Chains A and B, each alone.
Chain A
Amino acid sequence: MTAIFYILAGIMLAAACYVAVSRDIARAVFCFFGVLFAMAGLYIFALADFVAVTQILVYAGGVVVLMIFALMLTDKQLLENIRRGESSGPRLFRARALPSILLALAVFAVLLQVITAVDWGNMAWRHEAVAAGNRITGHENMVENVGVNLMTRYLLPFEVISVFLLAALIGAAYLARGRTNN
């Protein structure tokens, strides 16, 4: 089990690094696909199988496909220009990028600090939940659980998200509308 976790995590990190430094957008998109897929695997480790499936459906199936479409519709020449403009200098570390790299490392250090500073085993709410038997063992039907919660406790957010989606839809439609009619 642990081996699979580390393999997935390794794939994800490697792919993510490639996305960050790659100059070729098509390859970057494919690697991004790999990141998302590996992440779905990690969700399963967190016993969140519903989220994992959604991740594959929405991100791997939807977002990445959208990106590829966008890529295909974009002017070839423009992509070529970007690639050529960037190709001077060594690949991974450029002096220009040094501050950004340092900053990224600093963020990592901060996160690491938070992770190490937390007493994970001793959180009050976890004890309470365990005592109340309110925990997931891996045998429940997670889809049902999510569905019931969405329709009861989180009904309002669920409904309000429809307003959000509508706003996004109208906005997208407005911006994407052909330019000839006005």
Chain B
Amino acid sequence: MIEKSWLIPLLPFLGFLINGLGRSRISKKTAAVIGSASVLCSFILSVLVFFELQGSAETGVTVKLFEWIRAGSLQIPFSFYVDPLTCVWLLVITGIGFLIHVYSAGYMHADQGFGKFFSYLNLFVFFMLILVMGAGYAIMFIGWEGVGLCSYLLIGFWYKNDAYNDAAKKAFIMNRIGDLGFLLGIFLLIATFGSTDFTEIFPQAAGFQSGDGRLLAITLCLFIGAVGKSAQLPLYTWLPDAMAGPTPVSALIHAATMVTAGVYMVARSNILYALSPVAMTVVAITGLATAIFAALIALTQNDIKKVLAYSTVSQLGYMFLALGVGAFTGAVFHVMTHAFFKALLFLGAGSVIHALHDQQDMRRMGGLKKAMPVTFLTMLLATLAISGIPPFSGFFSKDEILAHAFSRDPLLWVLGFAGALLTAFYMFRMLFLTFWGDFRGTAKEKQGIHESPASMTVPLILLAVLSVVGGFLGIPEVFARQAHLLGGFLAPVFAASQEVLPAMHVPHSTEWILMGISVLGVLVSIGMAWSLYVKKKRVPAEDTVQRSGLVAWSYHKFYVDELYQALIVRPLDALSGFFYRVMDKRFIDGIVNGVGSTILAFSSTLRLLQTGRIGSYLFYMVAGIILIFLLNYLIF
């Protein structure tokens, strides 16, 4: 089956072609069936691949499709590489992808661009699969760019809204900055190893000295790429804005899959990072800083999707913290559990928004517990999971990360724990504001409240089950020996770097204590949220109210957007404006256009008489020649 794994990305691509080309002819129902079925088939194939890989002795299989680039000594074949790490992502992408496709059929049923939506969604799944299946960084880059494009298209899906288009552009440009790093990293890899293939690079890299400068440059460049794609500090601002897209898109792309591509890349390159301690530290600090920073912002947001978006940024920060402290398995584990509960949270939020006819402001919600029991219960489970209450999935993955962080440096644990407290608080704040208390919207909205159709609730229930039991794949040593199934499965992938890195050594008694403290702290945090938002029925102030102190900073997202505007966007605008005025307007359109630019015909006749302009062109030319000659005299 593994040899045929190229079918996995091919099927969604076919779905994209059919839905994309025939979107005016295919009915909504057919489009939904084609879109979902193609991903379902991929999921089944992924499951088969998983079992075959688990049964075989091999750690990874390369499936070569064709020769792609050959330039001198550099050869880049177009091939796929399937190993346990790929397998985990395959299952997450196709599994959750399928559920979200089904959900979208219900959520988008009234939308005009239904067919287009499904074709984009399929295209996204295709590129995401290419990203995780590629046998080298070059193939990964195709997927990387492809998912970026799809994300751009889907954020701007409701293109009639200008703000949404701006959000799409922002996401695109922020990602370009990251891609620049990634691309440079690939070039450096080619220069260092003469290849972009994992199977060529990693064995070679294992022979390098720890702290090698070339590896450091490569890993930092790659990390810039990861920072862009996975929305870490300082390039995270696009992700909250990306919530402009339809909610299923937020769930699939901006929570469960695409944004974890950065984690995938670093986990894939684990040996390179393991040999660059400086890069590891950078990763860990960036991750931790993002986790806390985003959590602080989430405390005061009032848009239900914005809360979830900042929560995603924060959780991604935890994953990078895990990578940075060498807990690669923990990072992958958290990606998986996070995919379950965050997709569920987004879909649940979508269900609420759907019921309230596109109302996203939590100040206009409340008391939905009765009217939407399925949504409420599933979201409650997901919130418990993300807060880290045992035995829900988030508890296990977060605990694993924090334990590793503690073994690296207790301070990392303290900060991570603080982040976890914030997480529990803002998540329950969201839950309480939405489902408890009295309904605060208009009467008309109140009448329309209804539980979502089955196509939406069934995925919710399935995801809720996964969120509850998903954690048992990675039971830590303190509970039972050899019970970390995921760790065992992934062990071959990280074997080389585990040899390089210092082993985790936290006594079981300490680990028990840490666990106890974190659970207790989280419970207290939840209690505080309860007393504020349920007992005292506090509702966040309207936007117009002036906030002060830390609350204002958090509410205004620490003014980062404004900062970027002032530091980067405006100077750039000024620079290009300058070029525009000087290079184009003055030199090229001349003085004449300034006078008569309003009347095109008039100006073009005048331009004809304006022979001085050719003169000035020639002037610049000759000046250029003189400068070239002068330069050469100076050098030679």
Contacts and interface: CB of A to CB of B under 8 A. Distances in A.
Interface string B593-636: 00000000000000000000001000100110110011001000
Main secondary structure of the interface of A (DSSP, over half): helix
A103 B633 contact: no
B626 A110 contact: yes
A100 interface: yes
Contact of A100 (B619, B625, B626, B630): B619
A118 to B, nearest CB: 14
A110 B625 CA distance: 10
A103 B629 contact: no
Nearest to B629: A110
Interface string A38-77: 0000000000000000000000000000000000000000
B353 to A, nearest CB: 64
Contact of A107 (B615, B622, B633): B622
A106 B619 contact: no
Contacts of B626: 103, 106-107, 110
B569 to A, nearest CB: 36
A113 B629 CA distance: 10
A110 B629 CA distance: 7
A78 to B, nearest CB: 11
A121 interface: no
A100 B629 CA distance: 17
A101 to B, nearest CB: 11
Interface string B131-157: 000000000000000000000000000
A99 B619 CA distance: 9
Contacts of B615: 100
A175 to B, nearest CB: 15
A32 to B, nearest CB: 19
Count class of interface residues, chain B: under 10
A103 B630 CA distance: 13
A107 B626 CA distance: 7
B330 to A, nearest CB: 67
Interface string A85-114: 000000000000001100100110010010
Interface residues of A, number: 7
Contacts of A100: 615, 619
Contacts of A106: 626
Nearest to A110: B629
Interface in B269-310: none
B622 A113 contact: no
Contacts of B630: 110
B631 to A, nearest CB: 12
Contacts of A99: 619
Interface in A95-148: 99-100, 103, 106-107, 110, 113
A10 B628 CA distance: 31
Contacts of B629: 110, 113
A107 B623 CA distance: 9
Nearest to B623: A103
A108 to B, nearest CB: 10
B53 to A, nearest CB: 66
B350 to A, nearest CB: 64
Contacts of B623: 103
A131 to B, nearest CB: 30
Interface in B310-353: none
Contacts of A103: 619, 622-623, 626
A139 to B, nearest CB: 40
A74 to B, nearest CB: 15
A113 B626 CA distance: 12
B587 to A, nearest CB: 14
A62 B460 CA distance: 90
B416 to A, nearest CB: 65
B636 to A, nearest CB: 11
B300 to A, nearest CB: 60
B630 to A, nearest CB: 8
Contacts of A110: 625-626, 629-630
Contacts of B619: 99-100, 103
A146 B625 CA distance: 34
A106 B622 CA distance: 9
Interface string B375-388: 00000000000000
Contacts of B625: 107, 110
Nearest to B620: A103
Nearest to A96: B612
Nearest to A113: B633
Nearest to B633: A113
Nearest to A117: B633
Contacts of A107: 622, 625-626
Interface in B154-189: none
Nearest to A99: B619
A106 B626 CA distance: 7
A68 B253 CA distance: 75
A99 B622 CA distance: 11
A110 B626 CA distance: 7
B635 to A, nearest CB: 14
A102 to B, nearest CB: 10
A171 B622 CA distance: 29
A107 B619 CA distance: 11
Interface of B: 615, 619, 622-623, 625-626, 629-630, 633
Give 4 nearest A-B pairs by CB, closest first. Answer: A106-B626, A110-B629, A103-B622, A103-B623
Given A103-B619, A103-B623, A107-B622, 6 more contacts: A100-B615, A100-B619, A107-B626, A110-B625, A110-B626, A113-B629
17 contacts: A99-B619, A100-B615, A100-B619, A103-B619, A103-B622, A103-B623, A103-B626, A106-B626, A107-B622, A107-B625, A107-B626, A110-B625, A110-B626, A110-B629, A110-B630, A113-B629, A113-B633
